[in-house]
Amino acid sequence: MTAVLTGATGFVGSRLCAELLRRTDRDLVCFVRAGTEAEATERVRATLRKQDPDVADSPRLRGIPGDVTAGLPDEVPGVTDVYHCAASVNMGAAYEELVAVNVGGTRNVVRYARAAGAPRLHHVSTLAVFLNGTAAGLRSVDETTVATSMTVGPIGYPRSKYEAELAAMDAGDVAVTVYRPGLVLADSRDGACPEDDFVARLYGAVTMTGCYPVALSNIPVVAADHAAAQIVALSLKESGVGQAFHISAPELLPARELFTQAVRHGYRLREVTADEWIAALRDHSPDRRALAMRLLRTATNILGLTPETAVPDVTCAATTRAIPEIASPAMDEPYFGRLLNTLARRGTIPQPVGGRR
């Protein structure tokens, strides 16, 4: 049996790759942007060596050059499951910049899965499809709630991922399961996190301005390794076909806690109104950290800068019911400490001035 994975060198995809090698005995073919098969395989192994060395040299792993936007290589024989995790997750990009990878890429993967006769497609989406849910009249969201163009709202990233979900569901005989992670945060094992994602930009901006906005959302967050463990565990169940699963820690994170954790870690930050924070970002422009934050229109929703834009409360009851055995790591002070240490070590944020380290 063989599984196919796209996005294997990405932040979530690489952890999904490791988890598939660890939890199954299948061969795993990864479509990677590369010139040759050797280069494709080495790119995946190099990524795994940094975070999952136990499976990095698995003989069951094979990279094949392939780009979701440019068509995929000939069908691999005996594919049972296609995992589609490749996407542009740039929340600051315009819809026009994301549509080719996120929507066109998904259409190509669906076409591939159908041509390969794969029985199952596992599509990694995002809970951002409910980003605008409050304005659309939703108080709370569970796995039976239907995402619509209203719950998605106008911002490029959620729009493109919503259309990608629709494209994934249109897969004919292929049985599709959709996984919607919340805001993906650092790996719980070592605090590894992306260099330029929403969270890195947010901490870059608040440590620069010395203040953070009053934030009303309760955010579904998930550690990257936990997201991968949940997706793989769910994908190995027979049930779940035609269904969406929410991939999140069981408890929502009050948005304010993103900031109070930084204060506990020794950063001197004060809470200001949303308007004052936006003014502070303008005052600090053209510093690129301020400009980068201003690009993130999703912050209005993710943080909840007004009651109308705050995200609806999301539950993940279907996921918890299906895989009670997968425990969430604690999203606590040591966890955020590791995340902040990674950002400080990299120079994304300064070292804290006081408090605990």
Burial class for 282, CB neighbours closer than 10 Å (0-12, 13-18, 19+): exposed
Nearest to 61 by CA among 94, 37, 85, 89: 37
Q: Do you find a cis peptide bond into 286, omega within 30 degrees of 0?
A: yes
Q: Determine if 175 is a binding residue for another protein (CB under 8 A).
A: no
Q: What is the Cβ-side half-sphere exposure of residue 87, based on CA atoms within 13 angstroms?
A: 29
Rounded Cα distance between 285 and 209, Å, is: 11
Q: Looking at 56-64, 86-94, 250-258, 339-347, which segment touches another protein (CB under 8 A)?
A: 86-94
Rounded Cα distance between 39 and 151, Å, is: 41
Nearest distance in Å: CB 324, another protein: 42
| CA 166 to chain centroid | 18
Q: Determine if 252 is a binding residue for another protein (CB under 8 A).
A: no
Nearest distance in Å: CB 294, another protein: 5
| Residue listed under structure tokens 């995946």 | 44
Q: Of 26 and 294, which has the nearer Cβ to another protein?
A: 294
Rounded Cα distance between 92 and 235, Å, is: 30
- Sole binder of another protein in the list 13, 63, 65, 92 (CB under 8 A): 92
- Sole binder of another protein in the list 42, 75, 97, 313 (CB under 8 A): 97
| CA 288 to chain centroid | 24
Q: Determine if 94 is a binding residue for another protein (CB under 8 A).
A: yes
Q: Of 193 and 299, which has the nearer Cβ to another protein?
A: 299
Q: Determine if 93 is a binding residue for another protein (CB under 8 A).
A: yes
Nearest distance in Å: CB 168, another protein: 25
Paired strand residues for 245: 179
Site for another protein, residues 289 to 318, rule: CB under 8 A: 291-292, 294-295, 297
Nearest distance in Å: CB 343, another protein: 18
Rounded Cα distance between 329 and 111, Å, is: 36
Number of residues lying near another protein (CB under 8 A): 15
Q: Determine if 91 is a binding residue for another protein (CB under 8 A).
A: no
Residues in contact with another protein by CB under 8 A are 90, 92-94, 96-97, 282, 285-286, 288, 291-292, 294-295, 297
